[in-house]
Amino acid sequence: MQKIKIESFGPINEAEIEIKQMVVFIGEQASGKSTISKLVYFFKSLKEDLFTLIFNNLDTTEDIRLLFIKEIQLKFYRFFGSTRYLPDFKIKYFYSPQKTVQLSLNPNKYLIVEFGYDFYGMIGNEVSELLKAIRKPSTVKNTYELIAIEQSKNKYLKQLKSIVDRLFEDDKPSLFVPAGRNITVTYTDQFKLDFFGNLSLESEKERIRSDRNQSVDTYLMLEFLRKIEAIKETFKENDFESLINTELGFGNITEEYTIVLHAAKEIIYKILKGKYQYDRFGEKIIFDSKNRRYVHLNNASSGQQESIRILQDLFLVLLSKENVFRVIEEPEAHLYPLAQKNLIELLAMVINNTDSQIIITTHSPYILSVINNLIFAKSVKQLMKENPDKEFDKIDLNEHSLIEPSKFQAYGLHNKEHWEFKSIFDTDTQLIGENYLDEISQIVGSEFNEMFEIYKQLKPLKRARKQ
């Protein structure tokens, strides 16, 4: 199982986190939730960084291994800023018990990258042979030879991806879904042109200089926007229903699996309060199909705008049965509690039907309560199967969204002398601890009780004065 150990970084004094299939971080603002989730994403996406680095330097004579260390150092700078004024820290990621990557600072505050296995040897031996094959000169005489060479290169690139995935014990494509994602709905084509164009035209030195005035959120939002452009392209002249029918027609999914996809589609309709459509007039949500009444997405509610990209991405993951890694910041943003419940059910469907990993950061106790119910429902469902002679007409458990306790972990952040980070998932009951769920209610209730006691004492005095 993958995990991360953190010592003295940001607001986190000490933490050890298991990266199960579904992980939830909950806590106050500025408590370190985002720091931890971004660290996990930092390490999980290193495989894509290495593959891209090699692909972009197929003809270089420089040592790829040294270039990769520089790339990690630059990536850290983009994510967390300069190391000059940071206290000494140690961050260690375990891709497996044997394969680790550790970040720390030397006395000169320079970032040190240490591999806990023969990473350099593995990448040097295997990748160098592949690069020789890809770079191999040829005397192309006709189109057919050119096609054959390109097919051969694609074969080598697939092998390269396999090597990189094996180096990091992970083949899941990574994506960070930041808060404020309604920008993917409201930005104009001119903004997109300026945003992508300016960033792609900057030289590396200029980008490093400008990064000093940018947060990591800008960098992550850029990555997310690029992914969204591909998602929007998939949905052009398509909706959720037509995508299911197309995949079924091509034989890529079974009739049985369409039941899962249609259940996911219905959840999405509930959250959006209508049917999503993307035609030549743009993106819209049809809330009255009979009378063709709709609202353009850029005029829709903030909840619809914040959730649409998450819903599209999760649906496409389900549709392709792809195994992915996602970090989703505040999935509950601008959503009514019932819609939050529906969204968590959709996330659970992805976990149950793929080998994906999803990390959630949240402020919402509703999220925890819904997850608790889905975990508990798994146990109830099992008991119902063991007692087929009993009837439970009033209980309707959605089998597609039940959460297996062994796939789940939750961590809460509390502020004492330092932010304390601990598991809030009770391994005995296999549920999120009741004390944590009730903590906020207890604080609010306690304040009310104290005021009510004062009220009871002062109310008679007020009556007496009136008499």
Which are the contacts of 293, defined by CB distance < 8 A and separation ≥ 6?
286, 287
What is the model's pTM? Answer: 0.87
Q: What is the pLDDT of residue 201?
A: 41
Say how far apart CA 368 and CA 377 lie, in whole Å: 14
Residue 433 has pLDDT above 90, yes or no: no
356 phi and psi, to 5 degrees? Answer: -75, 160
Tens digit of each residue's pLDDT (9 = 90 or more) over 273-331: 999 999 988 999 999 988 889 999 999 999 999 999 999 999 999 999 999 999 999 99
Residue 247 has pLDDT above 60, yes or no: yes
pLDDT-wise least confident of 167-176, 230-239, 441-450 = 441-450
Helix (H) / strand (E) element for 52: namely helix 46-56
Instruction: Please report where in the chains the tokens 């890809």 appear, as a residue.
Output: 134
Say how far apart CA 44 and CA 75 lie, in whole Å: 13
CA 342 to chain centre: 17
CA 366 to chain centre: 19
User: Please, are residues 61 and 67 in contact by the beta-carbon 8 Å criterion?
Assistant: no
- Tokens found for residue 308: 């649409």
Domain boundaries, the chain: 1-173+364-424, 178-321, 433-467
Q: What is the number of alpha carbons within 13 Å of residue 336 lying toward its C-beta?
A: 8
Tens digit of each residue's pLDDT (9 = 90 or more) over 52-69: 998 888 777 788 888 999
Alpha-carbon separation of residue 444 from 196, 369, 370 (angstroms): 46, 18, 21
Say how far apart CA 44 and CA 352 lie, in whole Å: 21
User: Please, are residues 356 and 325 in contact by the beta-carbon 8 Å criterion?
Assistant: yes
Q: What single letter denotes the amino acid at residue 110?
A: Y
Average pLDDT over residues 191-216: 51
Say how far apart CA 272 and CA 290 lie, in whole Å: 17
